[in-house]
């Protein structure tokens, strides 16, 4: 009988010791995992800060982003002639009101969303026979892209991009 009690006591002691060891190992492993996660987060934050600093200092990245935005602006402007011609056909062969039309406003809003200024103008002549639109470029704020009713598309000086513009020529 004493042997049974001794064996049961031994089993209980070994179980308790095993549980304590497993618990400590688990806690230690969890601590190691937490430490690694903290170090990884710190490294990621540090790497992100370094990337942002490099990005701010790199003129190549700024130019690249500016050129991408310029392409977006040009793509939006290039759809205006089709929108204008539909407007012209639907409005008694006149461009009057074209710049205030839903689709022209949508293009304007999408471009202004990308610009840091409001250098975007859409103008129609008083008699409704012609229109012109210009928008500042992002990569060079002294230049605007101009598109008009005749199909002319060209870069102009930003000083010529204003409420009085009625042609890109």
The CA angle 59-62-66, to the nearest 5 degrees, is 135
Residue 64 located in a structural domain: yes
Q: Is residue 99 part of a domain?
A: yes
Is residue 50 in some structural domain? no
Residue 40: alpha-carbon gap to chain centroid: 27
- Is residue 32 included in any domain, yes or no? no
User: What's the rounded Cα separation, in Å, for the pair 22 and 158?
Assistant: 73
Strand partners, 146: 134, 154
pLDDT of residue 116: 74
Domain of 64, in residue numbers = 59-160
pLDDT in tens, the chain (169 residues): 555 555 455 455 544 454 444 444 445 555 655 655 565 555 556 666 665 555 555 555 555 777 888 888 999 999 999 999 999 999 999 999 999 999 999 999 989 887 777 889 999 999 999 999 999 998 888 999 999 999 999 999 999 999 999 999 8
Give the per-residue pLDDT at 65: 78
62 C-beta neighbours (distance < 10 Å), count: 14
Residue 116 lies in a domain: yes
Q: How many domains does the structure of the chain reveal?
A: 1
168 in Cβ contact with 155 (< 8 Å): no
Report d(CA 65, CA 82) in Å as an integer: 28
With respect to residue 92, please indicate whether it lies within any of the assigned structural domains: yes
Q: Is residue 53 part of a domain?
A: no
């Amino acid at each position: 009988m004493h042997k049974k009690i001794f064996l049961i006591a031994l089993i209980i002691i070994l179980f308790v010791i095993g549980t304590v060891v497993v618990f400590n190992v688990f806690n230690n492993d969890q601590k190691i995992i937490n430490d690694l996660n903290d170090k990884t987060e710190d490294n990621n934050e540090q790497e992100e800060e370094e990337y942002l600093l490099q990005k701010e200092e790199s003129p190549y990245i700024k130019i690249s982003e500016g050129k991408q935005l310029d392409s977006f602006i040009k793509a939006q402007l290039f759809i205006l002639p089709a929108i204008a011609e539909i407007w012209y056909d639907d409005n008694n062969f006149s461009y009057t009101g074209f710049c205030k039309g839903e689709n022209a406003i949508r293009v304007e809003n999408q471009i202004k969303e990308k610009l840091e200024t409001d250098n975007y103008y859409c103008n129609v002549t008083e008699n409704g026979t012609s229109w012109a639109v210009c928008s500042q470029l992002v990569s060079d704020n002294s230049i605007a892209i101009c598109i008009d009713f005749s199909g002319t598309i060209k870069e102009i000086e930003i000083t010529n991009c204003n409420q009085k513009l009625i042609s890109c020529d």
